[in-house]
């Protein structure tokens, strides 16, 4: 198997759409992704010392200054047992005016505060800012209460963000995450959509930390029922044996299609169909949030800061709703593939108290799909 295991490399095709050159959210021009990964220590959990299996991921919405060049955006929650800062104002005015941070539940504050500090340094003044930072809980493997993500880690992810291929699996904010009782983490995918005005790209990045094994479905195949605990062990937590599924997934959707904030919200809603299609149910203890943005208005929309709202009016062309279905299909397929890529790229990890979460073996997945005549061998 190749070191970089991804759905298309394994000839697993989800939907009939064409992927972008990197099959990643960075296929949307200007979008950049950076990670800082923290993985050290073994043995019993000692609060504040480890073991540490966590990190931070930063998504820059476009090529310019993410604080100075807001873009249209919308959010949607499938189930709200999660946090995404800065979204009360985003819902109110429909603009994303910061990078997006992804991390663990205990480190939301430091990521948010560091992004604020970065804006202060760049602007050289007292900016008004509400950074967007989202989380999923990695306490099955990580000393989440130890709050090991520091401002320096956030700055590193912010500064090393780049276009091109995106690292997946046990990286950044996804380092300690678990997906459908397999090792989860960061995953990404993209689709190129034809419109009357030319091709546009829809890109998705997920931090996948949700689901239970028996519900996992890929291409309509009940993979979780076939690849049960007798094939790949299901992790057991010492204090809660047999309790799984109380996780979350954060999804970031980007497109260069010209969309209004309302249309971005509609796009965010459709991403949750892929979560359901793969077996997620928005369980009571799950935080399943989606943020979607369009880069088409960058540089045209006035800044979201009060001090700079001087324009009496501005004009941005948007896609007709009659043409948006193709984007809906694209975001569903790309989200499903991103979830699968997160599991395929992840590697087996041993975390706190010796808890082991196993990877989804590519050869086992291929054999299961072939048995149902849905994979490259079927």
Give the torsion sign (CA, 87, 292, 320, 325). negative
Choose the catalytic residue: 98, 260, 286, 294. Answer: 286
> For residues 6 and 277, what is the distance between their CA atoms, to the nearest angstrom?
19
Q: How far is CA 271 from CA 135, 325, 330, in A?
A: 17, 13, 9
CB neighbourhood size of 256 (10 A):
20
- Whether 197 is catalytic is no
**Cα three-residue angle 214-37-277, rounded to 5 degrees:** 25
pLDDT value at residue 233: 96
Choose the catalytic residue: 143, 288, 294, 333. Answer: 288
- Whether 230 is catalytic is no
pLDDT in tens, the chain (378 residues): 334 578 989 999 999 999 999 999 999 999 999 999 999 999 999 999 999 999 999 999 988 788 888 999 999 999 999 999 999 999 999 999 999 999 999 999 999 999 999 998 887 777 778 999 999 999 999 999 999 999 999 999 999 999 999 999 999 999 999 999 999 999 999 999 999 889 999 999 999 999 999 999 999 999 999 999 999 999 986 655 444 556 899 999 999 999 999 999 999 999 999 999 999 999 998 999 999 999 998 777 776 554 455 556 778 889 999 999 999 999 999 999 999 999 999 999 999 999 999 999 999 999 999 999 876 765
Please, are residues 333 and 274 in contact by the beta-carbon 8 Å criterion? yes
Cα(first)–Cα(last) distance of the chain, in Å? Answer: 18
> For residues 26 and 49, what is the distance between their CA atoms, to the nearest angstrom?
35
Buried/exposed code over 163-195 (b: 16+ C-beta within 10 A; e: otherwise) = beebbbbbbbbbbbbbbbbbbbbbbbbbbbbee
Q: How far is CA 270 from CA 152, 221, 292, in A?
A: 35, 21, 10
**CATH assignment, 25-371:** 3.60.70.12
> For residues 26 and 325, what is the distance between their CA atoms, to the nearest angstrom?
22
**Cα three-residue angle 203-134-341, rounded to 5 degrees:** 40
């Amino acid at each position: 198997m190749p070191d970089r295991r991804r759905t298309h490399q394994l000839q697993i095709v989800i939907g009939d759409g064409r992927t972008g050159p990197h099959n990643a959210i960075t296929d949307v021009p200007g979008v950049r992704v950076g990670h800082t990964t923290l993985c050290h220590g073994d043995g019993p959990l000692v609060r504040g010392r480890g073991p540490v299996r966590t990190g931070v991921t930063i998504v820059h919405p476009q090529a310019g200054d993410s604080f100075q060049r807001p873009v249209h955006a919308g959010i949607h929650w499938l189930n709200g047992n999660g946090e995404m800062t800065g979204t009360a104002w985003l819902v109110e005015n429909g603009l994303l005016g910061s990078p997006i941070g992804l991390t663990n539940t205990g480190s939301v504050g430091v990521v948010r505060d560091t992004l604020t500090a970065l804006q202060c340094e760049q602007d050289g003044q007292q900016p008004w800012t509400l950074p967007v930072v989202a989380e999923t809980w990695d306490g099955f493997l990580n000393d989440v209460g130890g709050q090991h993500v520091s401002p320096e880690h956030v700055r590193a992810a912010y500064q090393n963000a780049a276009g091109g291929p995106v690292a997946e699996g046990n990286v950044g904010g996804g380092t300690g995450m678990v997906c459908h009782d397999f090792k989860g983490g960061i995953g990404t995918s993209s689709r190129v959509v034809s419109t009357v005005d030319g091709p546009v790209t829809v890109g998705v990045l997920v931090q996948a930390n949700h689901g239970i094994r028996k519900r996992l479905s890929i291409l309509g195949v009940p993979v979780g029922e076939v690849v049960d605990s007798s094939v790949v062990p299901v992790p057991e937590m010492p204090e809660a044996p047999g309790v799984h599924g109380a996780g979350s997934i954060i999804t970031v959707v980007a497109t260069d299609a010209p969309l209004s904030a309302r249309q971005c919200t509609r796009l965010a809603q459709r991403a949750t169909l892929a979560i359901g299609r793969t077996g997620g149910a928005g369980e009571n203890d799950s935080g399943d949030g989606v943020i979607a943005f369009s880069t088409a208005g960058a540089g045209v929309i006035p800044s979201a800061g009060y001090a700079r709202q001087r324009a009496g009016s501005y004009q941005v062309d948007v896609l007709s709703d009659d043409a948006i279905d193709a984007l809906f299909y694209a975001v569903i397929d790309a989200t499903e593939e991103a979830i699968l890529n997160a599991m395929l790229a992840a590697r087996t990890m041993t975390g706190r108290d010796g808890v082991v979460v196993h990877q989804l073996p590519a050869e086992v997945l291929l054999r299961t799909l072939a048995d149902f005549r849905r994979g490259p061998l079927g």
